[in-house]
Structure 1
Amino acid sequence: MSSDALMTFKSHIEGKNADVAICHDRIEWARSRGMSAKKLTAGFLTGGASLLATGVRSSDAGTEMIPVKSISSVVTKRDGLLFTKVVVVASGNTIEFRVPHDSALGIKALLTDLVLGKIPAPGQAPSAAAQPVQAAAPSAQASTPVEQLRQLAELRDGGILSEEEFTAKKAEILARM
């Protein structure tokens, strides 16, 4: 994985675990070679004969990369109780990163900012469009509990949060008051 990454995270891509890095100019991910639960179970049940016949390595291992300049859309959609899919649509490729709900919005925001050019590359001066975003970030963190509750209700009404998640976060915010 790249050392110049803005964000790194673990994800499920096409049902396999992957290490993902978002850089200024690309998204890259690597799926390690490993043994699936199915293959391990078959090996155990056959006394290792199936492992000898098919080998231990996974055929889905490898790396892939999408240039940020080829991304045309970034979408999130819920995927069960714990996960959200961040869908990246690029020319000739669509990839779905399955991540926990609390990570999805940050990943989408970072990718959107990269696509729109709001985050300058290293050694590049910040553009005028990037400065208001940087200035607005501290005020978003210092929002009042009432504003946080309004945002939370919007997420619930938009279907991003379940009623249980909304209630739990609401209790956290009220406890900090």
Structure 2
Amino acid sequence: MSSTALMTFKSHIDGKNADVAIYSDRIEWSRGRGVSGKKLTAGLLTGGASLLATGVRGSGAGTEMIPVKSITSVVTKRDGLMYTKVVVVASGNTIDFRVPHASAPGIKTLLTDLVLGKVPATEPAPPAPVHQAPAPTAAPPAGDPVVQLQQLAELRNAGILSEEEFTAKKAEILARM
């Protein structure tokens, strides 16, 4: 088994970030338990609605390894304004990796080359660029709905809130005006 990863990146799957490593002979991914700061902030701003939608439980925690020899297909699909899903189909399993648009072609090319038996460069490839969403600021004073709406839009644009969560919280803020 190879011990040096050719590429590492973070993938946002089902409301949690997964650490993904691609080796010459396998793909490994793992999701830890717990709640991120972004998820807590979104939960506070949406009155808990986003936490209810994505959950707080650690049942999604775990690891998985897929041997390159069992991969039958690698497909990319657009997933919103900022992300692309890299879908890895293997015998008996399918895993979606949600990554920024700019990272997807490099990930797909590396996986396709490995499946086709092309030997990657001896030096590990640089890690795929990771899009960092702007850090949400502290909740604005209750009397400033315009700032709350702006921050809510930032959370939606960063992919932290779904369109439904955004719409519900926006209606709540506008009702208080």
**TM-score of the superposition, structure 2-length normalised?**
0.55
Equivalent position SS for 2:102: helix
Please state which structure has a larger fraction of its residues in helix.
1
| 1:94 shift after superposition | 0.4
1:28 aligned partner: 28
Question: 1:98 and 1:57 mapped to 2: Cα distance?
Answer: 21
1:18 aligned partner: 18
**Retained in 2: the 8 A contact 1:30–1:64?**
yes
Structure with greater Cα Rg = 1
Equivalent position SS for 1:102: coil
Equivalent position SS for 1:81: coil
| 1:96 shift after superposition | 0.4
**Retained in 2: the 8 A contact 1:28–1:66?**
yes
1:99 aligned partner: 99
| 1:20 shift after superposition | 0.2
Question: 1:65 and 1:41 mapped to 2: Cα distance?
Answer: 31
Equivalent position SS for 2:58: coil
Q: How many residues align?
A: 109
- The 1:41–1:103 alpha-carbon spacing in structure 2 relative to 1, beyond 3 Å, is closer
1:62 aligned partner: 62
Correspondences of 1:123-162 after superposition (within 5 Å): none
1:115 aligned partner: 115
The two structures, once aligned, show a CA RMSD in angstroms of 2.8
**Retained in 1: the 8 A contact 2:4–2:23?**
yes
| 1:68 shift after superposition | 0.4
Indicate yes or no: 2:73 matched with 1:73.
Answer: yes
Question: 1:59 and 1:104 mapped to 2: Cα distance?
Answer: 27
Equivalent position SS for 2:113: helix
Question: 1:89 and 1:64 mapped to 2: Cα distance?
Answer: 14
| 1:13 shift after superposition | 2.4
- The 1:41–1:75 alpha-carbon spacing in structure 2 relative to 1, beyond 3 Å, is closer
- The 1:121–1:26 alpha-carbon spacing in structure 2 relative to 1, beyond 3 Å, is farther
Question: 2:43 and 2:101 mapped to 1: Cα distance?
Answer: 31
The answer for unaligned runs of 5 or more in structure 2 is: 48-55, 123-177
Q: Deviations over 1:86-121 (max 9, x none)?
A: 000000000000000000000000000000000169
* Identical-residue share of aligned pairs (%): 78
Runs of 4 or more, structure 1, over 2 Å off, are 35-38
**TM-score of the superposition, structure 1-length normalised?**
0.55
**Retained in 1: the 8 A contact 2:113–2:120?**
no
- The 1:15–1:41 alpha-carbon spacing in structure 2 relative to 1, beyond 3 Å, is closer
